[in-house]
Structure 1
Amino acid sequence: MTQSVVVQVGQCGNQVGCRFWDLALREHAHVNKRGLYDEAISSFFRNVDSRKSDGAAFGVGGRIQHLKARAVLVDMEEGVVNEILQGPLREVFDSTQLLTDVSGSGNNWAVGHMTYGSAYREQIVDKLRKAAEQCDCLQCFFLIHSMGGGTGSGLGTRVLSLLEEEFPAVCRIVTSIYPSAEDDVITSPYNSILAMNELTEHADCVLPVENQSLVDIVNKIKVMSHGAKPGLIIKRNSTVTSGQGGLSGAEKPFDAMNNIVANLLLNITSSARFEGSLNMDLNEIAMNLVPFPRLHYLVPSLTPLYTLADINVPPRRLDQMFSDAFSKDHQLIQADPKHSLYLACALMVRGNVQVSDVRRNIERLRPSLPFVSWNQEGWKTSLCSVPPVGHSHSLLALANNTCVKPTFVELRERFTKLYRKKAHLHHYLHVEGMEQSFFSEAVASLSSLIEEYHHLDATKAKLMPDAPRLSIPR
């Protein structure tokens, strides 16, 4: 059985990671009623009960015994990590796998990447090695971080480069939370551009998630929950925003948004954690969806966002789930894939769904989805028999699509507005090891990436068949 390690960096990374661990434990407790330590649990958890190597007790909402998450938690402020250690999941994390400081990175990529990256390099490498040594067959590192702040963007991408340096053969899948245009961190365009350069160079796959898309999904679910349409009743605890998520205290505004990202991770790891008729190996994601090494940004789309109270699933609703996966309303970034070019697409299905259902829907949707000419059959599918708790079935679509280009163009524009005036630049250049050339290299890398997507988009017109012409009798 293969294992994976989750690396959580910064406030956002640790909050999302904590909610992932809580949801994962809920799923395993729901499926594994006797609480036995099995191969499914071993994929992301260690059994530290030396008295009973073939079994482990675990639960949700109370003390968790014997199981330890295969995780490394890093933050240069100790607030969130301390909150996790005081919450219901405190027993899940090994104290030797935590690394915190007190002062934070001051929303400065250079402080996170250069200052803390150098100061804590050996400790980070040591914790990563220990986590890897506790795996029988290490398959993947999942890195969770945000792009707008200092620790997530700076130290997060430094950790990514260390992963490539220390474990070059192990797949690196990164979930990156991108700031919205109205972000309250004034330097977030600088941090995001500098982090993008690192993601393009050192990640195998990046799952970009935009804060604004998360806000829109949360609002959409709220509207539905309050009965926007008569006769549609949302099943209790069935939305992707439900659940306390392992932190103590009252729900915070970002909790529902973090829960959506945790569900993304829950679904992408489902084949590694549970059996299915057509499981997808985590290494296959990059192998099948990334034809060019730099173009590894995969647009995630989740459906359903909620389950209706009538749990019988007619084929029509199942088909609707597949249609929704290609709708911009269900994507975790604001983009329209149907008007852009697909390089490849993965459909990761959970629950009681048949291979025939998947094939039927691919054939139904294929004519409306423009694929590159050399990869018309660029579909990868997986079927996991265990649905998320509260749902009868679910679907995660991962699209390698040129629709990410506008997100990157907007990011570059926001960067240029600041950089043209040299605003706040001195905060970065005062950091030891940081040079102005880092900015020019980062924006050049992003411009090159945008150009590569633009070049592919230019081929789309040749792929789309001409509309049938109206013949007028003479």
Structure 2
Amino acid sequence: MTQSIVVQVGQCGNQVGCRFWDLVLREHAHVNQTGVYDEALSSFFRNVDQSRRAGGADATGGRITALKARAVLVDMEEGVLGEILQGPLRSLFNSTQLISDVSGSGNNWAVGHHTYGLTYREQIVDQVRKAAEHCDCLQCFFLIHSMGGGTGSGLGTFVLKLLEEEFPEVCRIVTSVYPMAEDDVITSPYNSVLAMKELTEHADCVLPVDNQSLVDIVGKIQHMSNTGKPSCTIKKDCTIISGQGGLMKVEKPFDAMNNIVANLLLNITSSARFEGSLNMDLNEIAMNLVPFPRLHYLVPSLTPLYTLADVNVPPRRLKPTLPFVPWNQEGWKTSLCSVPPVCHSHSLLALANNTCVKSTFFELRERFVKLYRRKAHLHHYLAVDGMELAGFNEALSSISDLIEDYTHLEHPLMPNAPRLTIAT
């Protein structure tokens, strides 16, 4: 059985991570009701013998063990990590797994990437190495972060480079939450585009999650559930967006949105954790879905997000009905897992590598250029040691090249379309 390590960076990354660990425990408890440590649990947890610390054994003479998450949690503010250490998930982590500061990154990519990156480099590497040493067969790093703030975008992409340097053979799958167009962080276009350059160069796969889409999904489901129509009755505790039912018990702000992202990660790894008629190795995601190395942005789609009380429709196989572009006729991988999410009879996750992400990147570049033309807020970045104006130009050039690559692939029959290098 292979193992994966989750690296959570920044406020958003750790809030999503909280929901992930809460839900993964709930899922395993539902499947493994005896509570015995098995191979499925070993994917994200290790079993630690605490008998010595407790004096040898419990009252019945048995060994005392505890689950510890295969994770490293990083944030340059103490708020979210402090809540974790005091909350119901605290037993999953040793205090050394949580790396924090007090002042935050001030919504500045350069502070997160250059200042905190250099300051905490050795501590982060040390904790990642320790987590890796507890794995028999480390297969994947899952990095969770947001793009709009300073720590998630800056320090998050710094950590991504560290993972590539220290563990070049281990797959790096990044879940990136992109800011809304009307984000309250005015420098979010800078932070996002600067981070995009690092994601393009150092990730194996990126799962872009649009914050506005999460808001819209949650709003539509809540509106539907409040209509009172019999056809819109949702089964109790059978909605992915619900923050209740796990260890947390009480739903917090943004839990509904964060749960969607957490369930995305659960679905991606379900085939690696549970038995199925067609299991999938996590490395096969990049192998099958990324024909061009830089174009590794996979759009995730997940269904169902809720279960209606009187409807139960299983998913059908889609490949025969979908047209495939000439340059990626074999870009398809199917995995079948026999264990559905808790309270659901079935679940379908689709990861699509197509050119639709170009519009998101184009809009992000436009917002970046609007600030950059006026040189707005640049002095905050250039005051940071290690940050130069060339960094902005390189980031803008990187995202422009990415958009151009996707544009060429929208017209696969054009003579110059095959100019991209095929991944080997």
Please give the TM-score of this superposition, normalised by the length of structure 2.
Answer: 0.92
The match for 2:38 is: 38
Is 1:362 matched with 2:362?
no
Which amino acid in the other structure matches residue 448 of structure 1?
D
CA deviations 1:289-315 (Å, max 9, x no partner) are: 00010000000001011011236x3xx
State the distance in 2 between where 1:19 and 1:277 align. 28
Q: What is residue 379 of structure 1 aligned with on the other side?
A: 332
For the residue of structure 2 that corresponds to 1:15, the secondary structure is helix
User: CA offsets, 1:426-457, max 9 Å, x none?
Assistant: 00000011000000000100000000000000
Matched, 1:433 2:383: no
CA distance in 2, matches of 1:413, 1:374: 29
Separation in 2, partners of 1:432, 1:38: 48
Cα pair distance change 1:460/1:11, threshold 3 Å: farther
The reply on whether 1:412 has 2:365 as its aligned counterpart is yes
Please name the residue that 2:290 is paired with.
290
Q: Report the CA distance between 1:237 and its aligned residue.
A: 1.1
Cα pair distance change 1:93/1:117, threshold 3 Å: same
- 1:306 matched to 2:306? The reply is yes
Cα 1:268/1:100, change in 2 over 3 Å: same
Equivalent position of 1:354 in the other structure: none
CA deviations 1:312-348 (Å, max 9, x no partner) are x3xxx22xx4xxxxxxxxxxxxxxxxxxxxxxxxxxx
Alignment partners' CA distance in 1, 2:260 and 2:100: 26
Aligned residue in 1 for 2:70: 70
Q: Distance in 2 between matches of 1:148 and 1:245?
A: 30
Q: Which residue of 2 aligns with 1:218?
A: 218
Distance in 1, matches of 2:343 and 2:414, equals: 43
- The correspondence of residues 144-293 of structure 1 with structure 2, limited to 5 A, is 144-227=144-227, 229-244=229-244, 251-293=251-293
Per-residue CA deviations over 1:385-410 (Å, capped at 9, x if unaligned) read 10000111001100001000000000
Q: Taking structure 1 as reference, are residues 73 and 247 closer, same or farther at Cα in structure 2, changes over 3 Å only?
A: farther
Q: Which runs of 5+ in 2 are unaligned?
A: 53-57, 59-63, 416-424
Query: 1:107 touches 1:185 (CA, 8 Å); kept in 2?
Result: yes
- Alignment partner of 1:74: what SS? strand
SS for the counterpart of 1:269 is: helix
The answer on whether the counterparts of 2:382 and 2:389 sit within 8 Å (CA) in structure 1 is: yes
Counterpart mapping for 1:426-465 below 5 A = 426-459=379-412
The answer on whether the counterparts of 2:243 and 2:252 sit within 8 Å (CA) in structure 1 is no
Deviations 1:81-110 (A, max 9, x none): 011111111101121211000000000000
Quote how far apart the aligned CAs of 1:228 are.
6.3
| Code of the aligned partner of 1:415 | F
Q: Could you say what secondary structure the match of 1:401 adopts?
A: coil
Shift of 1:226: 1.7
Q: CA deviation at 1:188?
A: 0.3
The two structures, once aligned, show a CA RMSD in angstroms of: 2.0
1:171-210: per-residue Cα shift (whole Å, max 9, x none)?
A: 0000000000010000000000000000000000000001
Q: Secondary structure at the match of 1:175?
A: strand
Q: Distance in 2 between matches of 1:277 and 1:219?
A: 36
Q: 1:125 to 1:383 in 2, by over 3 A?
A: same
Rounded to whole Å, the distance in 2 between the matches of 1:416 and 1:229 is 47
Contact 2:237 2:244 in 1 (8 A): no
CA drift at 1:459: 2.4
- Alpha-carbon shift at residue 460 of structure 1 (Å): 6.7
Question: Quick check: 2:76–2:100 contact (8 Å CA) kept in 1?
Answer: yes
| Partner SS state of residue 383, structure 1 | coil
Q: Identity rate of aligned residues, in percent?
A: 79
8 A contact 1:172–1:203 mirrored in 2: yes
Task: Tell me which stretches of 4 or more aligned residues in structure 1 moved more than 4 Å.
Answer: 245-250
Measure, in 2, the Cα distance between the counterparts of 1:145 and 1:248. 21
CA gap of 1:286–1:245, structure 2 versus 1, over 3 A, is farther
Mapped partners of 2:192, 2:103: distance in 1: 21
Q: Mean Cα displacement is larger for which, 284-293 or 223-232?
A: 223-232
- The one-letter code matched in structure 1 to 2:102 is V
Matched, 1:395 2:348: yes
Question: CA offset at residue 32 of structure 1?
Answer: 0.4
Contact 1:237–1:243, Cα closer than 8 Å, also in 2: no
- Counterpart contact for 1:88–1:246, Cα < 8 Å: no
Which SS does the other structure have where 2:199 is aligned?
Answer: helix
Conservation of the 8 A alpha-carbon contact between 1:20 and 1:245: no
Q: Give 1:253 shift.
A: 3.0
Report the CA distance between 1:212 and its aligned residue: 0.3
Query: How much has 1:248 moved relative to structure 2?
Result: 5.9
Deviation by residue 1:368-422 (Cα, 9 ceiling, x = unmatched):
xx42213324221000110000111001100001000000000000000000000
Task: Give a deviation string over 1:213-238, Cα, whole Å, max 9, x none.
Answer: 00010011112212465433211111
The one-letter code matched in structure 2 to 1:189 is: P
Number of residues paired by the alignment? 405
Which whole-Å deviations, capped at 9, do the CAs of 1:131-182 have from their partners, x for residues lacking one?
Answer: 1001000000000000000000000000000000000000000000000001
Could you tell me which amino acid in structure 1 is paired with residue 206 of structure 2? V
2:7 is the counterpart of 1:7: yes
Match of 1:422 among 375, 381, 384: 375
* Aligned-partner SS, 1:252: coil
TM-score (norm 1): 0.82
Write the letter of the residue equivalent to 2:399.
L
